[in-house]
Amino acid sequence: MAKAYQLPYKLLSISGADKLSYLHGQVTQDINLVKDTNFLWTGHCSPKGKLWSAMRVFALNENYFLLGSPQEAEASHRELNKYGVFAKVDIAMSNHHCFGVLTDTLDDLCTSLGIQFNDEDNACNFGDGKALKLDGKRLILILAANQKLPEMLEVEPDASQFEINGILAGEPQLNDNVIDEFVPQMVNLQALNGISFKKGCYTGQETVARMRYLGKNKRAMFIVHGESKAPIQIQDIEMQLEQDNWRRAGKVVHQVYDTQAQIYYALAVLPNDLQQSAVLRPKDNDSVRLHIKALPYSIEDK
């Protein structure tokens, strides 16, 4: 039986006559590319080009939806509504439920659930909700309030295994400590095709373009992991220069602890020229060593 995990994600819905033009002018993605059969990554920035959120965008029932962490959804909800009063648009927190699915037999599961993805698609309608295909073994099922999870899916109480897979895929998710701190390239949105450099103006575009064309960006998001006998929560990471000499290296944007394996996983924004052999640790914590794991994609500008 495939395992399902109730995810702590939130969704924003964007509806109204001006929904496309309004959202297009607020985020890094070309919203004209969003179809019923796909989802795309996008960033929502402040006027200074700092991210309120890094979220997935998709279409459902002729509306647009943004999917991300509760902190990201709340920040984007607040900021989008500031300017939404000047357009025919309604921005609201959605009451959809979100489940992650992990399986080694994704094609068979999709057949059993009545889900069909064409070769180039990564999204399709699922009853009154939506199914998003993340890779060869992960789905996100977005269910309407009146929609039940299929009985063939066994719900696990702890979503950490699903979130660890997201970290290993290098998928950004911002927490409270880093909202409004990083430009999109610092969390690798360009590597996930989440930035359009051809779409025209949007909030924060000048900073994002400067990072690309003037080579100003000196940071990137890395996967870090390390053994820890107890759960840990980290904000700042230090890098070892010499035996007893450590220097602040960067910040954690998302983290999960694997209780069974006693391994800590995180996504952290660090200097983009950092060597994979670098030795890291939580700030002022000499009992845990963190190591860099290779990203599954290139962080060069596309």
pLDDT given for residue 301 in this prediction: 67
Give me the residue label for tokens 């999204």.
123
Strand order in the sheet with 263-271: 280-282, 236-242, 245-258, 263-271, 219-227, 291-293
For the segment 128-148, what is each residue's pLDDT rounded down to a tens digit? Answer: 999 999 999 999 999 999 999
Taking alpha carbons only, the member of 232, 233, 248, 255 closest to residue 283 is 248
pLDDT band at 199 (very low <50, low <70, confident <90, very high): very high
DSSP three-state, residue 91 = strand
DSSP letter at 187 equals: G
Strand order in the sheet with 39-45: 39-45, 51-60, 63-68, 10-15, 90-93
Q: Which amino acid appears at position 246 of this protein?
A: W
Taking alpha carbons only, the member of 168, 142, 161 closest to residue 102 is 161
26: left (phi over 0), alpha (psi -120 to 50) or beta: alpha
Q: Is the pLDDT of residue 243 over 90?
A: no
pTM of the model: 0.96
Give the pLDDT mean for 211-223.
Answer: 92
Q: Percent of the chain scored above 90 by pLDDT?
A: 89
Give the pLDDT mean for 78-103.
Answer: 94
pLDDT given for residue 215 in this prediction: 84
pLDDT given for residue 157 in this prediction: 87
Q: Where in the chain is the domain with CATH 2.40.30.160?
A: 218-293
Give the pLDDT mean for 116-120.
Answer: 90
DSSP H or E stretch at residue 64: strand 63-68
Q: Is the pLDDT of residue 242 over 90?
A: no
DSSP codes of every residue in 243-298? TTEEEEEEEEEEEEEETTTTEEEEEEEEETT--TT--EEETT-TT--BEEE--SS-
> Comparing 92-106, 234-248, 256-270, which segment has the lowest mean pLDDT?
234-248
Pairing type for strands 97-102 and 90-93 reads unpaired
**Alpha carbons 47 and 36: distance in angstroms, whole number:** 30
Q: Domain 3-168 belongs to what topology?
A: Gyrase A; domain 2 (3.30.1360)
Q: Is the pLDDT of residue 24 over 90?
A: yes
pLDDT greater at residue 284 or residue 271: 271
Q: Where in the chain is the domain with CATH 3.30.1360.120?
A: 3-168
Q: Is the pLDDT of residue 260 over 90?
A: yes
What architecture is the 218-293 domain classified under in CATH? Beta Barrel (2.40)
**Alpha carbons 274 and 172: distance in angstroms, whole number:** 19
